[in-house]
A and B are shown apart, each in its own frame.
Chain A
Amino acid sequence: MPSQPPLPPLLAPYVSTLPDSSLTLISSILGATSNWLVLRFLYAALSSASPNAAFGLDELQNGAKKKVVLVSFMRSYDFWKTEAKRLGLDLTRLADKKQFAFVDGLSELFYAPAATATPASVSPAGMGSSPRTTLPMRSPPGAVPGRSPQPVRPTATAVRGNLAKPAESGIAKKLHFTGRGLASLDALEADISSVIEQQKSSMEDGDELLLIIDQPDLLLAATSPSMGIGATEMAEWITGLQQRAHATVLTLATDAPLIHNASTMSGQLATPIETEHAALAIGLAHRARSVMQLRTLDTGAAKDVSGVLRISRGGGMITEEDNLEEREALYFIQRDGGVKVFGRGES
C-alpha cells in the first residue's frame, strides 16, 4: 500500500488558499466526522514553513507565515497531538514557536475539576466580567502587549490556578463556561481573542492567522434558550471571533435530526435544540465562502470508501474572481491515518 501524501492533491487547493476574512464551514455527521479534514487544514497552514527551511529559503522569501489557533470543544489536546504527529506535525513544538495555539474547550468547560475549581462565591453568576476572574492564567511566558491588565482579578486566584496544575505544554488556555447568557459567551470570546492577540503580537506583516473552531455548536446544544443563548447569539459570537482572524474554519454537526426536524414539513414538534441548531447551521452556511460537507455513502458502507466530501460555494462568496470549483469526491481514511481523496469511479 503506497503511503499517501499528507495532503491529497485534490484537496490541496481547498485547504491551503483561504482568502482574507473568509469563513469555511465543515459539516459532519455521526458516521463521518470532520477531524481528519481539520487536521488537513492544520497541515496546510503549519507545514509550509518547514520544507522551506530545509531548502534554506527563509521566511524572507516566503513572506506569508501562517499561524493557527485551534479551539476544540469536543476533543482533547492529546487527540490532536497524536493525530497531527501522524502527519508529521509536532504541535507542542509549533506551540513553542508560537505558530500554533490550542484553546481547550473540552476539559474544564462545564465542570472544572476540584483541583482547579475556584470557589463559586468569587464569581456570582450573571455578572459579565466575573468569569474572567476564575480563569487560571496559563499562557506561556512572553510578550503580551495586546492584553490590558484586569483589575478585577484577585491575584490569589491566578496564583492558585497556576499552582494547582503544572502548565500543560501546548494548551494556551482552557475555557470555562460560567454565568448565564451573553455574559458567558462574551467571557469565552474574550478568552479566545486574548489567545489570538497573543499570537498576533509576534506576527510580522503579511502573516496570516487561521482560526479553527471545532464544533462550537456544542455550546448551543448544551445551553438552552432560557439561558439566553440562541442561534443569533452564537452567530454573533462567531462573527466577533472571525473579525480577529485572517480566515476562519468552523466545524458543525449537521445530522438529519438536527437540521430537518426544525422544518414544519417533518410533522414532528421541533424542540429548541433542533430549531436553534438548524438556524445556526443554515445561517452560517449562508455566510460561508465554502461549505465542505462530509457524509457517509448513500448506498451503504464500503470497504474502501469512508465517505463523501462535497465542496460547494457558500452564500458568502466574496468576489467574482474567487473561482472556487465545486466538486464532490470520495474519501478514504486508511488505518495509518493517510487519506485518499478521489473522484467517483477513480481509485
Chain B
Amino acid sequence: MSFRKRNIGLSPGVDRNAVPNATAQPVPESTPGIRPSPDDGRPTTSTGTRSLDNLLAGHAGLPMGKLLLIEENGTTDFAGALLRYYAAEGVVQEQKVHVIGVPEQWGRSLPGLIGSAESLDEKRSDRRKDDRMKIAWRYERLGEFGAVAGSRGAPTTPGEQDAAAKEAPAFCHAFDLTKRLTHPSITNMSFIPIVPSKDSPFPAILKRLETAITSSAADTIHRIVIPSLLNPTMYPPDACQPANVLQFFHALKALMSAHTTRVTAMITMPLSLYPRSSGLVRWIELLSDGVLELCPFPHSADAMATSGAATSQEEPPQGMLKTHRLPVLHERGGGSDQNVGQDWAFILSRRRFEIKPFSLPPAEGDTEAQDASAAGGMPKKSDLDF
C-alpha cells in the first residue's frame, strides 16, 4: 500500500483524516439507512443482506439511483429471498417500498426483524470465538467494510470503519425467514398491480412510480421491488416483446437517474424462461447497473456440496453466485475490484443469506485417510511417554 506513509502508526486518530473527504458528499446525515460509500462517498443504502452489500464493489451497499438485477437459474427462489430482505430492509428503514406485479400477500410474508446485522454478527462471532485462531487481533476487523472472508476490499482503514459504525448503527438489519415482519411502516408499502391490457403493462406501472416519486417529499427514499420480472404467470405475453420490456427498463433508468439520490431498485428474473444467451436478456443486463446470477446446485450435487464446506462447522454452500456487472464500477470501466471474477458461493439459512468465496473441498479420499490416522495411525501420547 504505497499510498500511505509508512512511518505513521496505524492509529484511528490519524486515519480519520481521510474520512471527512469521503463524507463531504451532500448526504443528508439524518436520513436513516443511507450512508456514504467508503469508496467514493456517494450515498448508498443497504440491500438488507450484509454480505451482498459487501460484494458491491467496495461501496458496502447499493449506491442510490442504481438498479440491481438478480437472475436465477432453475426453479428455486433464492433470488426471491434476497428480494424479501431488500424489501424488509426498506420497510424497517421507513423508506417507501413499491412492489410491482405481486399481490399484497407478498408484503405480508416479509421476513421478521431480529436486530441489526452487526448484532447478529457479534453473536455469531462470540459463539465461534473459542475455536477461532487468533493471528493478530488488530487486523481482525480490517476487511469488515468488505467483510466477506478473504476479500480485503478497498483501501479501508480501521478509522473509516469506526466512524461508519458510529454514524450508521443500523445500516443493515438481520431478518428471520421463519418469522413475519411486523413494523408500523409496513402498511406504507405500495403494491402496483399489473393491469391486464392489450398493450404493454409497463407504461401504467411507470406512471404510478413516477407520480409516487415526484409527489413524495424530497427526503423520502424509494425502493422499487420487481419480483420475477416477465414471469408468464404474472405478465401478459406481450410484455416480453423487446420493444415493451426494454423501453420499460430504459424509462426506469431514466426515472432513477432523474431522482438519483432517492431511488434504488432490485429486480429478479427467472433465467430458465429467459436464458442469458438470448439477445433480449443481454439487453436487459446492459440496461441494469448491476447484474448477479444465482446458480443453485442441483439436488444431486448435495454430496458434493456437503463437502464443499471447508470445515465441518461451516454450512455447505447451496449454489454459486456470479457477478457479471457491479454498480458504478463497471459504468466507469470496471475491473479493478477484487470481488470481480471470483467464484462466490451462497448459503441461505433461516437467519441470513451469506455470500462467501467458493472453494473446492479437499479431495474426498483425504477425510478417510485422516479418520484412519486419527483412529489408529497416530501414536497416542501415552505410547510416546518414556
Contacts and interface: CB of A to CB of B under 8 A. Distances in A.
Interface of A: 1, 30-33, 35-36, 73-76, 78-79, 83, 106-111, 113-115, 218, 221-224, 226-227, 253, 255-258, 261, 268, 271-274, 277, 296, 300-307, 331-335, 337, 339
A36 B330 CA distance: 10
A76 B255 CA distance: 11
Contact of B336 (A106, A226, A296, A334): A334
B210 interface: yes
A272 B39 CA distance: 41
> What bracket does the count of chain B residues touching chain A fall in?
35 or more
The CB with the most chain A CB atoms within 10 A, among B211, B250, B286, B333, is that of B333
Cβ-closest 10 pairs across A and B = A301-B341, A306-B335, A333-B333, A111-B251, A274-B279, A36-B333, A76-B257, A222-B246, A224-B243, A110-B247
B278 A261 contact: yes
Interface in B86-101: none
Chain A: interface secondary structure? loop
B380 interface: no
B242 interface: yes
B292 interface: no
A107 B258 contact: yes
29 contacts: A30-B291, A31-B334, A107-B257, A109-B254, A110-B254, A111-B255, A113-B210, A114-B211, A114-B214, A115-B214, A221-B279, A223-B243, A253-B283, A253-B286, A257-B276, A257-B282, A258-B279, A261-B278, A261-B279, A271-B242, A273-B283, A300-B341, A306-B336, A307-B333, A332-B335, A333-B333, A333-B334, A335-B40, A335-B336
B335 A305 contact: yes
Contacts of A303: 336, 338
Contacts of A115: 214
Interface of B: 2-3, 39-40, 154, 203, 206-207, 210-211, 214, 241-243, 246-247, 250-251, 253-255, 257-258, 260, 276-283, 285-287, 291, 324-325, 330-336, 338, 340-342
Nearest to B1: A1
Contacts of A273: 242, 279-280, 283
A114 B334 CA distance: 35
B286 to A, nearest CB: 6
Given A35-B331, A106-B250, A108-B254, 13 more contacts: A30-B285, A36-B333, A110-B247, A110-B251, A111-B206, A114-B207, A222-B242, A253-B283, A255-B286, A258-B283, A273-B283, A302-B341, A305-B335
A261 B291 CA distance: 21
Given A106-B250, A108-B254, A110-B251, A339 B333 contact: yes
B333 A306 contact: yes
Nearest to B3: A1
Given A76-B257, A106-B253, A227 B243 contact: yes
Contact of A30 (B154, B246, B324, B335): B324
Contact of A277 (B3, B250, B255, B279): B279
Given A30-B286, A301-B341, A306 B334 contact: yes
Nearest to A107: B254
A307 B330 CA distance: 11
B335 A222 contact: no
B187 to A, nearest CB: 26
B100 to A, nearest CB: 15
B243 A222 contact: yes
Given A257-B282, A301-B335, A113 B257 contact: no
Contact of A271 (B279, B336, B338): B279
Contacts of B210: 111, 113-114
A66 to B, nearest CB: 23
A243 B255 CA distance: 33
Contacts of B325: 30-31
B250 to A, nearest CB: 6
Given A1-B3, A114-B207, A307-B334, A257 B278 contact: yes
